[in-house]
Amino acid sequence: MRKATPYHPYPSRTRPSYYRRPAPTSSSPSQTLNDPYYIGPGPRPRHERRGKSPMMLPDKEAVSKEAALLFRSDLPPFKLQELYESLQNYNKSGSMVTYCEETQGWTAWTGLPFHTRARDGIKIPYAPGSWKHIGLRSPLYCPHVSNSFRLRADCEMEIYRDTTLGRGKERWAARARRHNCKFMVVIPRLDDLKKVILNNSVSGAVPTSSSQTSASNSSMGLPPSSAPSTPSSSRTWNTASSSCPTTSPRPPRLDNFYDSDEILERSDLALNTNLMSNAMRLSRHPANNRECPPAALYHYHPISCPGSFKELGFANSMIGMAMKYFNSPEGISPAAHHLAFSASTLCTGCRNQFSIDGFREHIAPEGRCSNPKFPNALFYPSAPIHPAADRNNPPRELLQFHPSANPSPPEETLEDSMITRALLEWNSHIGIPQDAWDTVASARVLCRGCNLVRSFDGDCVHRDADGLPSCGGPPLDGGDDDEEAAAHGSGKGKARAHE
């Protein structure tokens, strides 16, 4: 029978014998059983466990002296206030300026990144959202750069999206955020940036000596201020510069840019947004940021400096005219959108997507893929099943775009849009890869006010800064899932052309 142990209301705090560590052999006073390193529930201090000395905090007096030294070395307060007021006037007038140490005042900024349009040589500015990836021709500085005790990099302004004015009133701005500077340069809108470049060109402010350097760096995917270094095999967004070579434009590609696995992955990423509402598609679609293109549409975006496209034989055809209205503020009806986008044909040779007209020219005259990389690929045409395949008998939904109706192009065309360039190549014998086609076909918005379908670019122009359409309809919100029922199809049909 087990012997009962007496009950103690206050148990002993001493550890059992099997928990105790043996006493050290040294007779040092610091190595006794009372030493917390050997007995005691508390762990070692953090700095002693890592074998490092405790972190030394800076002296408050030294910090205050350093701050006072920086403050005393800045420009006088009345001078800073004068510069601040003059900067506000520049922001209101839409001028971009930077601080000049020599004149101790504001001067016109000539670092605006732009590219030169190949067909007419006009300088087109890049959108501010892509400046971080492209690189500036020259940085912007705040007046604190005149302080010799401040780092020059701390006084360089950063490009960011300012949201302090509230929802719907976001704007791009430049400010030295490393020292919480109050000087902020407001970046004008894209249309006003074109005037800034024009004014700089007239006044001779835009330097031309670096054009050759920028052009050479552009071919290597470097910003204009960078120099060639070790080659990189990774594909990044830094593949455009402020000016592009116009002497030898890049010829169109006839084959896919990536392998089949990457194409399918990007296609799925775009097609997954087909069943989403308009507002959700705008936020999750790969092409939602028109200033920084997705990988599937990178080669069609101005950031990649594509050469001028000259295969415009079907630009004014029935499908070509419908695509112009689709990628404009005018828009097209859901029925016309369904017929135009379902008239896409897949070439079994190069695996590119074509319009019906473009595919006919692509396989002419021997019924083979005209891509030189696939000379032996045959295409087996099937019976014509698409209404848009008959040029002489156009469907009623596309009759307004047929040449017999003598249609006029939309008033506002988005020629520099990546969607425009992709649709032009799709409606030609060049064709576009499957991932690019799925991205373009799913980048659509149906307006509930006018019941017209537009591309992301066209819908952006159709609405104001608050998201309200010009037709007077409601804004985009999360409860517009019923709109997708009105849109006929998702634009990914595989219609077969006939001879």
Q: Average pLDDT for residues 122-131, to the nearest whole number?
A: 81
Question: Which of the four pLDDT bands, split at 50, 70 and 90, describes residue 218?
Answer: very low
Task: Tell me the average pLDDT of the chain.
Answer: 70
Round to whole Å and give the CA distance between 374 and 366: 14
The answer to whether residue 94 sits within a structural domain is yes
pLDDT at 173: 92
Of residues 437 and 279, more confidently modeled: 437
* 77 contacts: CB under 8 Å, gap ≥ 6: none
Measure the CA–CA gap between 222 and 226, rounded to whole angstroms.
Answer: 6
Select the more confidently predicted residue: 482 or 342.
Answer: 342
The answer to the question of residue 145 being in a domain is yes
Dihedral over Cα of 7, 9, 14, 19: its sign: positive
Residue at 456: amino acid letter: F
On whether residue 8 sits in a domain, the answer given is no
> What's the mean pLDDT in 92-105?
90
pLDDT, position 470: 86
Confirm whether 278 is domain-assigned.
no
One domain for residues 324 and 194:
no
List, for residues 156-201, the tens digit of each pLDDT value. Answer: 999 988 888 877 778 899 999 888 888 999 999 887 887 777 666 5
Residue 20 lies in a domain: no
Stretch 411-425: mean pLDDT: 84
Q: How many domains does the chain have?
A: 2
* Lowest-confidence pick of 86-100, 289-303, 452-466, 472-486: 472-486
The boundaries of the domain holding residue 441 are 318-462
Where is the domain boundary, 200, 230, 248? 200
Written as six digits, the tokens of 78 are 């009345």
Cα–Cα dist 127/114, whole Å:
9
pLDDT, average across residues 405-425: 84
Question: Is residue 425 over pLDDT 70?
Answer: yes
Helix (H) or strand (E) holding 106: strand 105-108
Range name among 208-217, 266-275, 351-360 with the lowest pLDDT average: 208-217
β-bridge partners, 124 = 115
- 385 within 8 A of 455, measured Cβ to Cβ: no
Which tens digit of pLDDT belongs to each residue from 311-367? 777 878 888 899 999 988 899 999 999 888 888 888 877 788 888 888 888 876 666
The more confidently predicted of residues 42 and 228 is 42
Please give the pLDDT value at position 107.
Answer: 92
Q: pLDDT tens, 236-265?
A: 333 333 333 333 333 344 444 445 555 566
- 373 touches 451 (CB < 8 A): no
Q: Would you say residue 476 lies in a domain?
A: no
For residue 228, the model assigns a pLDDT of: 30
Q: Name the region of 10 (left: φ>0; alpha: ψ -120 to 50; beta: rest).
A: beta
Burial of 308 (0-12, 13-18, 19+ CB in 10 A): exposed
Task: Indicate the range of 105-119, 188-202, 203-217 predicted with least confidence.
Answer: 203-217
DSSP code of 125? Answer: E
Q: Where are the beta strands (DSSP E) in 310-372?
A: 344-346, 353-355
CA distance 318 to 247: 33
Confidence of residue 479 (pLDDT cuts 50, 70, 90): very low
In a domain, 240, yes or no: no
Task: Establish if 343 belongs to a structural domain.
Answer: yes
- Sheet order of strands, 184-186 included: 158-162, 171-175, 184-186
